[in-house]
Amino acid sequence: MKCFLLSISVFLFAPVLKAQRLYLNIGAGIMNYGGDLQDKEFTLNQAQTAFSLGLGYKLSEHFLLNFSYVNGIVTANDQKSNAGNARRNLNFTTNINEGSLTMEAQWREISEAGDFTPYIFAGVAVYHFNPYTFDTAGVKTYLQPLGTEGQGLPQYPDRKIYKLTQLAIPFGIGIRYAIGDRVTIGAEIDFRKLFTDYLDDASSRSYADTAILRAARGSLAAELSFRGDELKPPLTFSERIRRGNPDRNDDYYTCLIKLSFALGNASLGSGNGYSKKMRKQNGCPTKVF
């Protein structure tokens, strides 16, 4: 009878319980990128800080919907790369601001302290970037308006001006551990598939003619397009020198430690109506029906 009454109560108050399936997610860690100015696809070399904030909604025992905002920095410098790239002498930095909506699938439900579960996730994201560098006078300069590879010029019709706000596909894996009835801690790696090769402002195999850039965009565009002449001894300009690799798009990724807090009166297992702990305390079977 006790279990029957509890089951009726769960049915009657289901709308309230569903409204309490929200979770606040806070994360901190590192962000890095893979592209033309990095030797390896995945590395901690030149990684920078990243932070995340989001809300999760528990759809069922195994599935959660997450909205997240991520802010971080990616940067790379040929002088911190391998010896071959050092003569190219390019560098960039960009802030990343990203909003994403992802579907998460966890191995099993976490209901109480001591539970843990691995999970995977994927979704869609919108992010904004704006690569910049510092010129020889130390002045911060944004690179996209300069068209350092001749983007948008009639002499280079295949080189288009890239957009600073774009779509991405985030995906990754993680593990979550309950440190209380309402709080979990976890670690996750989140990759992004991008649809641009200009996160670092470098893509084309060859340099644009600096004389054309100087005439069309000004001396600063020519200066920041080819920076081998800043070295000692200086590198002589040639359009045949390799600048980038257009065969593979850039990407960026985060490694985060995340805390999740159940909001309202919900516990970690509230997505099923009432937790395993409540069922045990009342002597009920695992499933009523």
pLDDT in tens, 133-155: 999 899 999 999 999 999 999 99
Extract the tokens encoding 34. 């893979």
pLDDT at 64: 95
Average pLDDT of the chain to the nearest whole number = 85
- pLDDT, mean of residues 205-219: 93
The domains of the chain, with CATH numbers, are 2-18+25-129+164-205+242-281 (2.40.160.20)
Phi, psi of 54, deg, nearest 5: -165, 175
pLDDT in tens, 73-128: 999 999 887 667 888 899 999 999 999 999 999 998 887 788 889 999 999 999 99
- Partnered with residue 58 across adjacent β-strands are 64
- Partnered with residue 96 across adjacent β-strands are 72
136, 146 Cβ separation under 8 angstroms: no
pLDDT band at 267 (very low <50, low <70, confident <90, very high): low
- pLDDT, mean of residues 34-59: 92
pLDDT at 14: 40
> Could you tell me the sign of the dihedral formed by the alpha carbons of 145, 148, 91, 97, in that order?
positive
> Could you tell me the sign of the dihedral formed by the alpha carbons of 129, 163, 252, 143, in that order?
negative
